A and B are shown apart, each in its own frame.
Chain A
Amino acid sequence: MAETIGFWAVAVVLVGSALAVVLSKNLFHSVLWLALALTGTAGVFLLLDAEFLAAVQLLLYAGGIITIVVFAIVVTERLVGERITQTNRRITAGAVTSLALIALVVSAITRQPLATAREPLTTDLTRTIGESVLTRFVLPFELLGVLMLAAMLGAVYFARPED
């Protein structure tokens, strides 16, 4: 029962803030709504017993991405406060396509026999994740480190001062 209430609360927050992200006129407001949407996603992870992923979500997304997006807006936005239209002319086509995609996916989901209940956890999820990252998935983990280094170098290269 508590899970049902929690799910609907998180779902309302997540869908509402996601709509605000794409419909808000001011890009700054969009980013702040995105922070709420990412926090709502962390709530979904908590409902699915993934405390570690919820923490990662808050640290990396709500902490990291929101900060760099705000910086990017500050650097690139010359029209702060000015009422410029943020959506292009294809708003109807976009709405139709998105609604069609949602309808398609939802109809496909409802037709499948999916699990309605989950088994109670027997192990510590955080321990499971930590152990498999350092044993079975150690090679992808190292490759991920290389990827992060490459992304960091690339970002620094792109953002270098003009000479």
Chain B
Amino acid sequence: MGLQAYLILAAVVFGIGLFGVMTRRNTIGILLGIELMLNAVNINLVAFARFSGSEVGMIFTVFAICITVAEAAMGLAIVILLFRIRRTVMADHLDLLKG
């Protein structure tokens, strides 16, 4: 399979993740959509690195995976904190910043 097939697969997964981010009501569901989108990006990075013949590019994926893990840990910590303050994790009800 050529590079094109991998890029299209990643684009489809990215779109599905974007759909999840836009339509989920639960904040944790939104985070799951973000995870899908970041995964699609990682597929792109690895595919480009492999097909360009310069495998050092895969280092980028190592960093992206680690940063994603940190992001998920922080995001879930914020969700738990929000739940403690508002007793809900539904994004529609989280309007603390609205004056």
Chain A residues near B (Cβ < 8 Å): 3-4, 7, 11, 14-15, 18-19, 21-22, 27, 30-31, 34, 37-38, 41, 44-45, 47-50, 53, 56-57, 60-61, 64-65, 68-69, 71-73, 75-78, 85-88, 90-91, 93-95, 97-99, 101-102, 105-106, 109-110, 112, 114-119, 121, 123, 125, 128-129, 132-133, 136-137, 140, 144, 147-148, 150-152, 154-155, 158-159, 162
Check A140/B29 contact, CB under 8 A, given A15-B9, A72-B79. Answer: no
Q: Does B80 contact A (CB under 8 A)?
A: yes
Tell whether A60 pairs with B33 under 8 Å between CB atoms, given A48-B50, A99-B15: no
Distance between Cα atoms of A8 and B5 in the complex (Å): 10
Interface size on B, residues (CB 8 A): 69
Interface SS of A by simple majority: helix
Q: Is B53 an interface residue (CB 8 A)?
A: yes
Contact A44 B33 (CB under 8 A): no
- From B1, B16, B80, B84, give the contact of A18 (CB < 8 A): B16
Interface residues of B in 56-78 (CB under 8 A from A): 56, 58-59, 61-63, 65-74, 76-78
Interface residues of B in 21-41 (CB under 8 A from A): 22-26, 28-29, 31-33, 35-36, 39
Given contacts A76-B28, A94-B18, A106-B12, 16 further A-B contacts (CB under 8 A): A34-B35, A45-B43, A60-B66, A61-B35, A61-B65, A86-B24, A91-B23, A97-B22, A102-B12, A109-B4, A114-B7, A118-B3, A150-B70, A154-B74, A158-B77, A158-B80
Interface string of B69-98 (1 = CB under 8 A from A): 111111011111101100101011000000
